[in-house]
Amino acid sequence: MLRNKRILLIIGGGIAAYKCLELVRRLKERGASVRAILTPAAQQFVTPLTVGALTGERVFTDLFDLTAEHDIGHIRLSREADLVVVAPATADLMARMAHGIADDLASTALIATDKPVLIAPAMNPRMWAHPATRRNLAILEADGITRIGPNAGAMAERDEFGEGRMAEPMEILAAIEGHFTHVGSATLTGRRILVTSGPTHEPIDPVRYIANRSSGKQGHAIAAAAAAAGAQVVLVSGPVDLPDPPNVHTIHVESAREMLAAVEGNLPVDVAIFTAAVADWRVADAADQKIKKGPQGTPALHLVENPDILATISRHPTLRPHLVIGFAAETEKVVEHARAKLARKGCDLIVANDVSPAHGVMGGDTNTVHLVSPAQVEDWPTASKAEVARRLAARIATLLEGQA
């Protein structure tokens, strides 16, 4: 599986750097080629000589070495790989990645690359638990980076235990192989895919609205994963606090009716994925002016039903996509309700997730989903929203191949 795969291994400055030597050997054994970049701090733990002896290639350490005409250049170095692996991903390296800082060869290659990135974090448990690291991790996961570890256990520092040990070389190897399994089937080149994401805002008056707690993280991750797999992606997004995903044409809307119009305006597509948490109701007559408090008492909101975008597109008389996928956010009887929804909405597949507050899915970074089709239910393991998105992209590629 790894034969002829090109891995760019970025070694950060942590004690776990020594485990990368083993990782390089296992990768080489399986036929992969490995180029390594060492940060200045990494060179305090392992030497370029050792790493170079194991990779059988020149080791890269200095950004300015690579600016010479005759040299490979950091852009080429970052792109002549099938996968970039950062191990150990230290707190510092994660912070620089999350914020796009490019002040040495490793961080510059990470911002210059157009390839998927897998990180193996390693740091002291307090650093791992620090709110700054949590924030940086959330940014990296929203950017579509995959992660392996860290594990819990003893630290190099005496009497320190907790979560922060770098994953073992064989675990990192398994994650790399897992990556190529998904990617192998996830070719969406030439496919047009439309994704809806986020909540909708339904106006009450010019300053007030009805909304819900959807963050848009899952929908945005799906749009990013589909684009990364080669699809031409249109994302119709309700109001969210997320950047537009890279290489995706993003259209911003507020209300359900605007979302439907944007979706209809972007047909035909091969696949439509309705991840948005569309408001079921809107206020019948939203006021033109701000409603004032006064002697007339508390206003009553008269609600009317919004169009069901998923059902409308699933039953479109002429432009129904080949594959229509809905989401079901449920707080109880998740699979049972998803099955009913599949029939009611006329779509091909429902991705059902449990959004009861105890699971922290709404706004959180992980998801536990069940893939419900008329024939079967598949329970997927809990994974980051980026990982769920990648798996879904791979599944869509397989389903489209089956339809061809």
Q: Which is nearer to ligand C5P, 237 or 306 (CB)?
A: 306
DSSP result, 328-355: EEESSSHHHHHHHHHHHHT-SEEEEEE-
Rule CB under 6 A: say whether 105 interacts with ligand C5P.
no
Please choose, from the candidates 266, 278, 279, the residue with its C-alpha nearest in 3D space to the C-alpha of residue 194.
266
- Single-letter amino acid, residue 249: H
What are 23-30's contacts with CB under 8 Å, separation 24+? 23/85, 23/87, 23/169, 23/172, 23/173, 24/51, 24/54, 24/55, 25/54, 26/169, 26/170, 26/173, 27/2, 27/173, 27/176, 28/54, 28/55, 28/56, 30/1, 30/2, 30/3, 30/173
Rule CB under 6 A: say whether 216 interacts with ligand C5P.
no
Number of residues that bind ligand C5P (CB under 6 A): 14
Of these, 308, 354, 365, 387, which contacts ligand C5P (CB under 6 A)? 308
Of these, 110, 226, 328, 388, which contacts ligand C5P (CB under 6 A)? 328
Rule CB under 6 A: say whether 45 interacts with ligand C5P.
no
CB of 275 to ligand C5P, least distance (A): 6
Rule CB under 6 A: say whether 278 interacts with ligand C5P.
yes
Of these, 46, 228, 274, 391, which contacts ligand C5P (CB under 6 A)? 274
CB of 370 to ligand C5P, least distance (A): 14
Q: Is 212 a catalytic residue?
A: yes
Q: Using CB under 6 A, which residues numbered 168 to 197 contact ligand C5P?
A: 196
Please choose, from the candidates 81, 51, 219, 75, the residue with its C-alpha nearest in 3D space to the C-alpha of residue 142.
219
Q: Which is nearer to ligand C5P, 140 or 224 (CB)?
A: 224
Q: Of the listed 212, 247, 266, 306, which one is catalytic?
A: 212
Of these, 77, 108, 326, 339, which contacts ligand C5P (CB under 6 A)? 326
Q: Residue 318: enclosing H or E segment and its boundaries?
A: none
Residue whose structure tokens are 């398994």: 174
Angstrom distance (rounded) from CA 194 to CA 251: 11
Of these, 23, 148, 256, 386, which contacts ligand C5P (CB under 6 A)? 256
Q: Which is nearer to ligand C5P, 299 or 307 (CB)?
A: 307
Rule CB under 6 A: say whether 272 interacts with ligand C5P.
no
Segment interacting with ligand C5P (CB under 6 A) among 40-48, 66-74, 323-331, 362-370: 323-331
- Single-letter amino acid, residue 164: G
Q: Using CB under 6 A, which residues numbered 13 to 42 contact ligand C5P?
A: none
Residues 6 or more apart whose CB falls under 8 angstroms from that of 13 comprise 39, 40, 41, 42, 43, 44, 45, 90, 92, 93
Rule CB under 6 A: say whether 334 interacts with ligand C5P.
no
CB neighbour class for 25 (10 Å; exposed up to 12, middle 13-18, buried from 19)? middle
CB of 349 to ligand C5P, least distance (A): 10
Angstrom distance (rounded) from CA 352 to CA 207: 33
Q: Which is nearer to ligand C5P, 10 or 276 (CB)?
A: 276
Three-state SS string across 223-290, please?
A: HHHHHHCCCEEEEEECCCCCCCCCCCEEEECCCHHHHHHHHHHCCCCCEEEECCECCCEEECCCCCCC
Residue nearest ligand C5P by beta-carbon distance: 309
- Single-letter amino acid, residue 225: A
Angstrom distance (rounded) from CA 395 to CA 357: 28
CB of 326 to ligand C5P, least distance (A): 3
Segment interacting with ligand C5P (CB under 6 A) among 46-54, 100-108, 148-156, 307-315: 307-315
Rule CB under 6 A: say whether 276 interacts with ligand C5P.
yes
Of these, 327, 362, 372, 392, which contacts ligand C5P (CB under 6 A)? 327
Rule CB under 6 A: say whether 214 interacts with ligand C5P.
no
Beta strands in 68-121 (DSSP E): 83-89, 117-121
Rule CB under 6 A: say whether 248 interacts with ligand C5P.
no
Of these, 87, 105, 142, 310, which contacts ligand C5P (CB under 6 A)? 310
Active site residues: 212
Residues that bind ligand C5P (CB under 6 A): 196, 256, 274, 276, 278, 280, 306, 308-310, 326-328, 341
